[in-house]
Chains A and B, each alone.
Chain A
Amino acid sequence: MNIFWHELKQYRRSTIVWVLSLCFIVLFFLSLFPVFSKDVETVRKIFESYPVAVRDALNVQIDIFFTLNGFYLFIFTYILLTGSIQAANLGVGIISKEAAGKTFDFLLTKPITRTQLITRKIAAALTLLIVTNIVYLAAAVFTANTVSHGDFEMNIFILISLTLILVQLMFFTIGLFLSAVLPKIKSVVTVSLPLVFAFFIIGMLDSIFGNKVRYLTPFKFYDPAYIIKNGTIEFKFLLIEAIFIVIVTVAVYYLFNKKDISAAD
């Protein structure tokens, strides 16, 4: 448990910053909802003048945009983006920081196996992500309730919000994998930011890739329109994600167990 608590402490400050950022984004954007929904006709005209590709890229679906959940979809893109950076940072950094700080020597000469070390670190990261999502969800539901005066479908809203952690888990796993295969990572953000933005840009190009874009980027993996229509997350995609995470995580354990920890100098 000592490693677990140590990691929680190490990431305490940055996690607070990420949580506050997410809460701020949802609070700020959702509080704009009354402005948009007051003047439906004008806003509709503005959006209709945009090409469909642009609207899709911005995640604006005109037929539902003026409901709270439709509006939430539009801003949720940025919530996902922010949360993904947090998760990718954690994934890339939580093991590789020991290499960058040359503290692997300290940890791995202790009576633990590498598997134990990785497991405890992953457990700490998952805890941080779960805490982030709980606080975020509370803030989001509270704000949604306030701005819509309770006039929205809460369960849909919560389901959409839950895709945040699902997408975060993918980025966390990809980050872990990168930290296992890349040689020494000096700075976490030089890996995590390009990773997240590359996928984000792929996600904006769905007019090129069509529906297949879902398989190319975590950002489009869960279809919120489906959630709004059916009131559930697509099981097939949950399954794909689970399989993806298991395979990559096994690879991460394997790679780290094999790795030589080169001398500090």
Chain B
Amino acid sequence: MNVIETKKLTKYYGNARGIIDVTMSIEEGEIFGFIGPNGAGKSTTIRTLLGLIYPTSGSATIFGKDIIEAGPEIRQEIGYLPSEVFYYDDMKVIDLLNYSASFYKKNPQVINKRIGELADLLDLELRKKIDDLSYGNKKKVGIVQGLLHKPKLIILDEPTGGLDPLIQQKFFSLLKEENEKGASVLFSSHILSEVQRLCDRVAIIKEGKIIRVQKISELLENNYKRFKLDTATKVDKKFFANIKGIKDLSISDRSVNFLYRGQINDITQKIANLDLNNILIEDPNLEEIFLHYYQ
């Protein structure tokens, strides 16, 4: 069964484009990535699914039920974490979490226990006022708030901003745990490596349209790496001439910059012949991926 199914979901803000004909389905039990640059329509899609905004045309179902007609019923089983969290500043963390919990028809004792567990795990102080929390700590409140009622569907809209690497790690393993217990996850991000780490499948959205849905394993197969080399002397262009899989090569005085796709050993052996001051190998950013995968 599909947890989320959208059919030609379209949203215009007046004349401004939000999303156009978004059709996708997310299977029960999968971690689904939703990736695209800022302004591509990730948040618009998610906010439409949550009933915060209304589609101009098209439709969507969650748990097989229409998102508009069955909104409240659906949201009983959804946990949502937005990219930026806003709460009532004058409330204490625990009061806010209890307020949040009070909306769900679930055993309060189970929820209370869950709040305690999550707060311990994330190292969140429950007695503090929301106003006194740092950005990252507010985000932790958001995580607890989104997971405390053990939702069947977790929707995350660029959730990692503001989290330090350690907490991010814990957060990801928390999501994996929930997923193993049966929760489906929709995870939007503009950072490919995040999505790679977590997701089974990924939809790529650009300028409001889904341009591709693919398995992460497939995406990794044609995975480019961005190489940035600082060299002691200027490198001759011919040096890279007979290597397959190099794209976007630019050579300036003492630096070389290119995208590479292929056997890592081949390229590292080749580079070993150069007189290097520094080397940086990283995932290309999304823009580059769009440029090279989907031209």
In the bound complex, CA of A217 to CA of B88 (Å): 35
B145's nearest neighbour on chain A, judged by CB, is A106
0/1 per residue, A155-177, Cβ < 8 Å to B? 00000000000000000000000
Indicate whether A101 sits within 8 Å of B86 (C-beta atoms), given known contacts A106-B100, A260-B13: yes
Q: Which of A1-41 contact B (CB under 8 A)?
A: 2, 6, 10
Which bracket fits the contact residues of B? 20 to 34
B101's nearest neighbour on chain A, judged by CB, is A2
Is there contact, CB below 8 Å, between B52 and A102? no
0/1 per residue, A103-138, Cβ < 8 Å to B? 111101111110010000000000000000000000
In the bound complex, CA of A262 to CA of B84 (Å): 13
In the bound complex, CA of A262 to CA of B14 (Å): 13
In the bound complex, CA of A187 to CA of B51 (Å): 26
CB of B293 closer than 8 Å to a CB of A: no
In the bound complex, CA of A261 to CA of B44 (Å): 11
Residues of B within 8 A of A261 (CB): 47, 52-53
B72's nearest neighbour on chain A, judged by CB, is A111
Is there contact, CB below 8 Å, between B76 and A111? yes
0/1 per residue, A253-265, Cβ < 8 Å to B? 0000010111111
Q: Of B47, B71, B84, which is within 8 A of A113 by CB?
A: B71
CB of B6 closer than 8 Å to a CB of A: no
Indicate whether A260 sits within 8 Å of B88 (C-beta atoms), given known contacts A2-B99, A6-B99, A110-B103: no
Is there contact, CB below 8 Å, between A103 and B47? no
Nearest CB of A to B197, in Å: 25
CB of B3 closer than 8 Å to a CB of A: no
Nearest CB of A to B79, in Å: 9
CB of B135 closer than 8 Å to a CB of A: no
Q: Of B53, B83, B87, which is within 8 A of A106 by CB?
A: B87
A to B contact number (C-beta, < 8 Å): 67
Nearest CB of A to B229, in Å: 37
Indicate whether A103 sits within 8 Å of B50 (C-beta atoms), given known contacts A109-B75, A111-B73: no
Is there contact, CB below 8 Å, between B88 and A103? yes
In the bound complex, CA of A111 to CA of B153 (Å): 13
CB of B78 closer than 8 Å to a CB of A: yes
Nearest CB of A to B60, in Å: 15
Q: Which of B89-109 contact A (CB under 8 A)?
A: 89, 99-100, 102-105
Nearest CB of B to A56, in Å: 45
Residues of B within 8 A of A116 (CB): 72
Residues of A within 8 A of B43 (CB): 263
Is there contact, CB below 8 Å, between B76 and A106? no
Residues of A within 8 A of B159 (CB): none
Is there contact, CB below 8 Å, between B86 and A103? yes
Residues of B within 8 A of A108 (CB): 50-52
In the bound complex, CA of A108 to CA of B100 (Å): 11
In the bound complex, CA of A10 to CA of B95 (Å): 12
Is there contact, CB below 8 Å, between B84 and A264? yes
Indicate whether A2 sits within 8 Å of B103 (C-beta atoms), given known contacts A110-B75, A264-B82: yes
Nearest CB of B to A107, in Å: 9
In the bound complex, CA of A111 to CA of B51 (Å): 11
In the bound complex, CA of A104 to CA of B104 (Å): 17
A260's nearest neighbour on chain B, judged by CB, is B53
Nearest CB of B to A86, in Å: 20
In the bound complex, CA of A113 to CA of B74 (Å): 11
In the bound complex, CA of A56 to CA of B80 (Å): 58
Residues of B within 8 A of A264 (CB): 82-84, 86
Nearest CB of B to A34, in Å: 44
Nearest CB of B to A255, in Å: 13
Is there contact, CB below 8 Å, between A111 and B104? yes
B44's nearest neighbour on chain A, judged by CB, is A263
In the bound complex, CA of A102 to CA of B80 (Å): 15
In the bound complex, CA of A6 to CA of B96 (Å): 10
For A10, A101, A105, A262, the residue with the greatest tally of chain B CB atoms inside 10 Å of its CB is: A105
- Of the A-B pairs whose beta carbons lie under 8 Å apart in the complex, a sample of 12, sorted by A's number, is A2-B102, A2-B103, A101-B89, A102-B84, A108-B50, A110-B75, A112-B72, A113-B72, A260-B53, A260-B54, A261-B52, A261-B53
Q: Which residues of B contact A (CB under 8 A)?
A: 13, 43, 47, 50-54, 71-76, 78, 80, 82-89, 99-100, 102-105, 145
Given A106-B85, A111-B105, A260-B13, 15 extra CB contacts under 8 A: A10-B88, A101-B89, A105-B82, A106-B145, A108-B51, A109-B75, A109-B78, A110-B104, A111-B73, A111-B103, A111-B104, A260-B53, A261-B47, A263-B43, A264-B84
Q: Which residues of A contact B (CB under 8 A)?
A: 2, 6, 10, 101-106, 108-113, 116, 258, 260-265
Q: Which A-B residue pairs are the 3 nearest by beta carbons?
A: A102-B86, A2-B102, A110-B103
